[in-house]
Amino acid sequence: MAAFDPALIRRDFPALHQTINGKPLVYLDSAATSQKPKAVIAAIESYYAHDNANVHRGIHELSRRATIAYEEARGKVARWINAAEPAEIIWTRGTTEAINLVSMAWGLDNVGKDDEILISVMEHHSNIVPWQLLAMRTGATLKYIELDDHGRLVLDDLPSLLTARTKIVALGHVSNALGTINPIKEITAAAKKVGALVVVDGAQGAVHTKVDVQDLGVDCYAFSGHKMCGPTGIGVLWARKELLESMSPYQGGGEMIHIVGRDASSWAEVPHKFEAGTPNIAGAIGMGAAVDFLSDIGMDAIAEHERSLMEYAMQQVGAVEGITIYGPDSLDERSAVLSFTLGDAHPHDISTILDSDGIAVRAGHHCAQLVMKHFGVAATARASFYLYSTKDDVDRLVAGLGQVRQIFG
């Protein structure tokens, strides 16, 4: 494998090579969605140009090719996260749909009014609202692990929060708003002692680090293609096969049935039981290509690059007068996200001024309003990094923040 060189990697990403407002683009919004390498764009184009057909339905050549490519992509994702077999990979629209699938398909059958669902204040809304909906429909109680002032979970509370009634523990692997990496393995071990189902929102996890779902010991792991160099509208729910087999279908329609009668039907085998309707075939193939792309570079090399970039970013951005950085100080506990405020400047103004300089950062609550409330802010600005981000990007950000300071005094 060649040495990791972001300058070489950047050549694979056409969108990075453009000017915005007359300045070379600095893309620091990868936590919202990553840019796409040529290999992923080519895989999608090739599917539509040569193999476009519906999957699992035709005996003709194109349908055969489409089905093979679609199922091969499932196999790639399975190997990538060390699933026991491809059947454990359910294609969804993304993390959000994967979590909703578990909350409805497992939750409605297994959670009752005396039960508890444990989540945390750190969660993305996609890992809060589905559980609120489940709690509303079942009468179950929703409980929260709190945050400390460094944006870490207060795990000292865990023994008292986990009870014989805890049916589900649903947590993010990595916080999109703070970058905090949660100790999923340890929390899972504790949750398993009370027999809870452990659901992990891996939208910001599998993207940056090698994930081994069997080693983590969790029951469900959800992630999205578009945050890991793949296309939008495709994602994955991984769960153990026995669990998936025990679950009711989530949606009904074509593809997910075995036999349809007038009053009742029987279901296709897992994973198809959970894939009603024509799936996002091009999306799955594109996500498979993204897995190949990331695997060729190596997740360990990507993680190492991001760690050294974060070290630099924390130092450089941290030295800007008036800056407040949210989230853990330790690089062991922080992924490639830098959330900050600058004096009294509103994060939207920060983002607008940076955009005029060609620098894309996100400003807002980052779909984590409970995190904002915890820190007593309405919003933060967020720079997020990926394998193609460089120290130059950080330098441009710091220079841009200098301009923000000049404007706001």
Ligand X SMILES: Cc1ncc(COP(=O)(O)O)c(C=O)c1O
Active-site positions read 367
Residue 224 CB, nearest approach to ligand X (Å) = 3
Nearest residue (CB) to ligand X, 174 versus 359: 174
Site for ligand X in 127-156 (CB under 6 A): 127
The smaller minimum CB distance to ligand X, of residues 126 and 380, is found at 126
Instruction: Kindly indicate which of the ranges 47-55, 94-102, 282-290, 388-396 contains the residues binding ligand X, using the contact rule CB under 6 A.
Output: 94-102
30 forms part of the interface with ligand X (CB under 6 A) = no
Binding positions for ligand X, 174-213, rule CB under 6 A: 176, 201, 203-204
Q: Does 364 bind ligand X (CB under 6 A)?
A: no
Q: Shortest approach of ligand X to residue 91 CB, angstroms?
A: 13
Residue 327 in contact with ligand X, rule: CB under 6 A = no
**Which segment (38-46, 61-69, 89-97, 271-279) binds ligand X by CB under 6 A?**
89-97
Q: Is the CB of 150 or the CB of 365 nearer to ligand X? A: 365
Report in angstroms how near the CB of residue 114 gets to ligand X at its nearest.
29
Q: Which of residues 226-285 bind ligand X (CB under 6 A)?
A: 235
Number of amino acids touching ligand X (CB under 6 A): 14
* Cβ neighbours, 10 Å, residue 403: 14
96, 138, 166, 339: which one binds ligand X (CB under 6 A): 96
Binding-site member from 37, 130, 151, 172 for ligand X (CB under 6 A): 172
CA atoms within 13 Å, Cβ hemisphere of 296: 10
Q: What is the dihedral of CA 72, 78, 84, 86, to 10 degrees?
A: -30
Nearer to ligand X, 294 or 345 (CB): 294
**Owner of token pair 């589900």:** 168
Q: Is 380 in the site for ligand X (CB under 6 A)?
A: no
Provide φ and ψ at 180, rounded to 5°: -60, 130
Residue 222: CB minimum distance to ligand X, A: 8
Least spacing, CB of residue 122 vs ligand X, in Å = 9
Report, in Å, the least distance between residue 138 CB and ligand X: 22
The three-point CA angle 94-83-162 to 5° equals 75
Given 73, 88, 91, 94, the residue binding ligand X (CB under 6 A): 94
124 is a site residue for ligand X (CB under 6 A): yes
Which range, of 122-130, 245-253, 285-293, 350-358, touches ligand X by CB under 6 A? 122-130
Among 95, 100, 138, 384, binds ligand X (CB under 6 A): 95
Query: What is the bridge-based pairing of β-strands 116-120 and 166-172?
Result: parallel
Nearer to ligand X, 95 or 120 (CB): 95
126 touches ligand X (CB under 6 A): yes
- Which residues make up the interface to ligand X (CB under 6 A)? 94-96, 124, 126-127, 172, 176, 201, 203-204, 224, 235, 367
